[in-house]
Amino acid sequence: MHLQPGGTVVEIGCGTGLNFQYLLNTIGRSGHLIGVDLTDAMLEKAKERVERNGWHNVTLVQADAATYSFPLNVNGVISAFALTLVPEYEMIIERAARAMAQQGRFVILDLKKPDKYPLWLVRLGVLITKPFGVSLDLMDRKPWEALKRYFPSVSVQEVYGGFAYIAVGEKS
């Protein structure tokens, strides 16, 4: 993400806050981490994690990511296995791009339908991950294409045998 000490980062779909430690290690005590999630139960676990670790520079926001208003001059936005679940993912990417500081990055780690496997194998993978809200139609969504519309520099790398990807959009 190329974050610096003192930076501001927003995690869309932060869940229980598993990524917070990694982000805070980079932005330090002078930075600001904003965790956004729709689910109150997830945010309660995230709040417990924040309190247990004494992090005073974390703000938790219960909101639908589709309607969340990003603060201006955000240095980074990250979404891990969450953005594809939001039908309005392009609106989120557009609003983040408008709020992003120069050199800011939007990083997405999410699932995708792999190109190199037969459909029966892909359906098996969907069946296995169904308890996590995964469906075949979700795997057809392509947020990295939206990144290309709103960020001048975008890279996409397939991971986990093509069942997932990491996409990075950078504002110049």
* Gyration radius of the chain over CA positions: 16
The β-bridge partners of 154 are 169
Q: For 73-93, how does the pLDDT look when each residue is reduced to its tens digit (9 = 90+)? A: 999 999 999 998 899 999 999
**Distance separating alpha carbons of residues 33 and 13, to the nearest angstrom:** 13
The three-state secondary structure class of 80 is strand
Q: Which domains does the chain have, with CATH numbers?
A: 8-170 (3.40.50.150)
With contact defined as beta carbons under 8 Å apart, do 69 and 92 qualify? Answer: no
The three-state secondary structure class of 52 is helix
Q: For 124-170, how does the pLDDT look when each residue is reduced to its tens digit (9 = 90+)? A: 776 776 666 666 666 677 999 999 999 999 999 999 887 889 999 99
